[in-house]
Amino acid sequence: MQCNQFLNRMFSKACEYGIKAAIFIALKSYQGERVSLKDIAAKINSPEAFTAKILQKLAKNNIVNSVKGAAGGFEIEKHKIASIQLAEIVDAIDGDSIYIGCGLGLNKCSEDHPCPVHHKFAAVREELKKMLESTNLEELALGIKSGASYLRT
Amino acid sequence: MQCNQFLNRMFSKACEYGIKAAIFIALKSYQGERVSLKDIAAKINSPEAFTAKILQKLAKNNIVNSVKGAAGGFEIEKHKIASIQLAEIVDAIDGDSIYIGCGLGLNKCSEDHPCPVHHKFAAVREELKKMLESTNLEELALGIKSGASYLRT
DNA sequence: TTTAATTCGGACAATTTTATCCTATTTAAT
DNA sequence: ATTAAATAGGATAAAATTGTCCGAATTAAA
Ligand code: FES
Ligand code: FES
């Protein structure tokens, strides 16, 4: 008997992979290295082909550069790394409804027609928004570099 | 062409329905009325059969009482309403990973082996947890009763 | 006792999310 | 030029979530 029940998340799996991938790419880019899909998937412990799709999305959103062909891979221009906010990555993959939308699924969140949890929820959601908008890739990458944090279990 | 993309949520659809249903049942219970699945689904604008499953879950978790047969329906004992926290409902339907689990999907969130966003994320998540644990069904129901908030768009 | 209004719960269907496979294309190196 | 190492992207599959259907069980009321 498999007890599957219960695994709601703040971010989708795709988004989790996307964030971790971006961090790893940023880290390597600082070292002047370009990384392959294979390396990324191994490092962040994600399914390769699925990760490829996510990277395509990040590339289309100009968050990472992809380079085709032998010796190709993914990279981020060093000077851009510190200016990429977590919010941009989440936005590219999950959209902004997590920190914009109504907590109880009303068409839109509004003061004029609030859902029952609006006032309490909006505060938390705003915290999340601020957090995502004030956290950049550089600091996240530095945490990995210094050994203060980890990309996989 | 349907543009479906992007609809991540804080709570699952099931959980959204569950919260709204519980609020409506609480409201009616204060008025000494028991409500049918049909009424609930109509009031919160949810698919009936799906809502039935969710109500079964709430019943099994002793959050609502279900009464079978003609003139049956759902109710919550008045004296319990103020003591039911939002967290209990979320927990019964979505589990606790939303306010306990790692934001980047590591097996477990821990200070000893933190993911890159741990410190920033844990603060927001804790806010969410506090909010869910300090909000009870009574206040939510009162918002609806007073016309200050709405259950559907 | 019959009937009608209910919830219960199993089976199933549709949709979305997650994951895989395979071919085409690009590019560096030989 | 040829080859090998990459990403791109379409097609498909698997799994999870969301949604539907229907018969069984329960209960109040006629
Ligand atoms: S209306 Fe629901 S969170 Fe604002
Ligand atoms: S380890 Fe990821 S949020 Fe704590």
Q: For ligand 2, pick from B121, B124, B127, B128 the residue to mutate: most ligand atoms within 8 Å of CB.
A: B121
Q: Out of A9, A19, A150, whose CB is closest to B98? A: A9
- Residue of B6, B112, B113 to mutate, interface with A, max A Cβ within 10 Å: B6
Instruction: List pLDDT tens digits, range B90-127.
Output: 999 999 999 999 999 999 999 999 999 999 999 999 99
Distance of CA A104 to the CA centre of its chain: 24
- Residues B130/B131/B132/B133 CA torsion (nearest 10 deg): 50
Instruction: List pLDDT tens digits, range B30-82.
Output: 999 999 999 999 999 999 999 999 999 999 999 999 999 999 999 999 999 99
Q: Where are the alpha helices (DSSP H) in A2-136?
A: 13-30, 37-44, 48-60, 78-81, 86-94, 97-100, 118-133
Strand C contact residues in chain A (59-78), C-beta within 7 Å = 67-72
Q: How far is CA B123 from CA A52, A87, A104, A131, in A?
A: 31, 16, 22, 9
Q: Out of B113, B144, B150, whose CB is closest to A150? A: B113
- Return the CA Rg of chain B: 17
**Distance from the A90 Cα atom to the nearest Cα atom in chain B, whole angstroms:** 10
Per-residue pLDDT at A8:
86
> What rounded mean pLDDT belongs to chain A?
95
Strand D contact residues in chain A (64-83), C-beta within 7 Å = 66-74
Instruction: List pLDDT tens digits, range A20-74.
Output: 999 999 999 999 999 999 999 999 999 999 999 999 999 999 999 999 999 999 9
Percent of chain A with pLDDT over 90: 95
Distance in Å, residue B69 CA to nucleotide C4 C1':
10
Q: What are the residue ranges spanned by the domains of chain B?
A: 13-95+136-145
Where does A13-95+136-145 sit in CATH, by number? 1.10.10.10
Confirm whether any atom of chain D, the nucleic acid strand, is less than 7 Å from CB of A120: no
Residue B2's pLDDT band (cuts 50, 70, 90): very low
